[in-house]
Amino acid sequence: MTLRILFTGEGTSDNGLVPHIEAVAAHAGTPVSVTSPDFGRLGFAHCHSVAEKLRSARGFGDDYDLIMVHRDADGTSPEARLEEVAKAVAAEWPGHPHVAVIPVRMLEAWLLLDETSIRQVAENPNGRMNLGLPKHSAVENVADPKKLLMATLTTASGYKGRRLASFQKRFPHHRHKLLERIDPYGPISRLASWKAFMEDLKAAIGAA
């Protein structure tokens, strides 16, 4: 039996997490099919809150065995975000098991731990400029990890002028690639938020 998973993020580049979901399921010997709707392209530009996204997805008429929701803590406590997701699922899709993916502050903090991947995604793998990346112990305390990641990619690229402007416009693509390239057994494995994501996902897949 194939486990049907609905994944909703805060943007389409969050779909870089899908391969990690599939890898965890494969390790557990569970075939999965992950659906991640692009609500904007489907005519649901109004979908911003978790509840709105789940309501729209339910309207497509498909059913799922597991719901996964990415929601940045973004200045709010992880516990408050967990409660927000749980209430949205209970209201819009009652009875469905779910997993909440809650990075501290923003998901971009997870992407600041792998200098090699940043240089490769920045199209300058042999660059030697100092990127000034935060230490592992401080990465989830960065006030605006998205802004820092954008600045870091800019520095790592070494581009100037028009090439730099073109490169910066592709940030969602670069973010997506960095998510896909996360080494789940690398430095990120020591972050509490990533460990919680992995443990909750494994438990949910096992239960389903």
Transcribe 94-161 into DSSP letters. TT--EEEE--SS-GGGGGGS-HHHHHHHTT-TT--S---PPPGGGGGG-S-HHHHHHHHHHHHH---H
Which of the four pLDDT bands, split at 50, 70 and 90, describes residue 150? very high
- Determine the pLDDT at residue 18: 95
Mean pLDDT score, 103-129: 94
Q: Which of 11, 5, 49 is nearest to 28 (CA)?
A: 5
For residue 40, the model assigns a pLDDT of: 75
Q: Is the pLDDT of residue 137 over 90?
A: no
Segment 115-128 shows an average pLDDT of: 96
Q: pLDDT for 183-207, tens place per residue?
A: 998 989 999 899 999 999 999 998 8
- Please state the rounded mean pLDDT for residues 119-135: 95
pLDDT above 90 (res 120): yes
pLDDT in tens, 31-87: 999 999 888 777 777 778 899 999 989 888 888 999 999 999 888 888 999 999 999
SS3 162: helix
pLDDT tens for each residue of 8-29? 998 888 999 999 999 999 999 9
pTM: 0.88
Predicted pLDDT at 105? 84
Range name among 35-44, 65-74, 118-127, 144-153 with the lowest pLDDT average: 35-44
Cross-strand bridge partners of residue 98: 67
